[in-house]
Amino acid sequence: MSTPTLPDILRQAIEARVAEVHVSLPGRVESYDHATQKASVKPLIKRRLADGRELELPVIVNVPVVFPRSGVASLTFPINRGDGVLLVFSERAMELWLSKGGVQAPGAPRKHALTDAIAIPGLYPFSQTSPAEDNTSLLLRLKNARLNMADDGTILVNNGSKAAAKLGS
């Protein structure tokens, strides 16, 4: 067996470190608390080790779920077990910022750690059909209820029965 060269040692060290850096992964909601907007999420792509073995990543708990929101407006919707999310991993430890807000020191020295994930709802594999009916209108639906806003200004409201209300043109 030959002695590893300095470039070999450096490459192995860099690859080992990069293997610990998480950027984003698809995930599946295991549980969700709407009051705190925190979820437990299972990452859906395994980690491949240097020796070729594959390991499932653990469920990540207390993951903040991100919805569109500003100081005066917000959009929320039901999140259920099995729903798809995009997990994004923070560059720095987030617990100080999550607990206090404002500008914070990084606190713990973690970078891109599994424990510093946020979840963005709506990521699904291409094997699941899109709910979009076309590429020209806005569709808001909840179970059988639908609100469809067409690009000509027409708004169609349907509560799941045969009755529907049409507003506009």
**Chain segment 93-147, per-residue pLDDT in tens:** 999 999 999 999 988 888 888 999 999 999 999 999 988 888 899 999 988 888 9
Residue 164: what pLDDT? 67
Using a 10 angstrom Cβ sphere, with 0-12 exposed, 13-18 middle and 19 or more buried, the burial of residue 63 is buried
Number of Cβ within 10 Å of residue 90's Cβ equals: 19
d(CA 159, CA 143): 9
Strand partners for 31: 40
Residue 162 has pLDDT above 70, yes or no: no
Q: Sort strands 60-64 and 24-33 into parallel, antiparallel or unpaired.
A: unpaired
Query: Any idea what DSSP says for residue 18?
Result: H
87 against 109, higher pLDDT: 87
Q: Looking at 57-66, 94-103, 155-164, which range is the least confident one?
A: 155-164
Residue 50 has pLDDT above 70, yes or no: yes
Percent of the chain surpassing pLDDT 70: 96
In sequence order, what are the residues at sequence separation of 6 or more whose Cβ sits closer than 8 angstroms to the Cβ of residue 145? 158, 159, 160
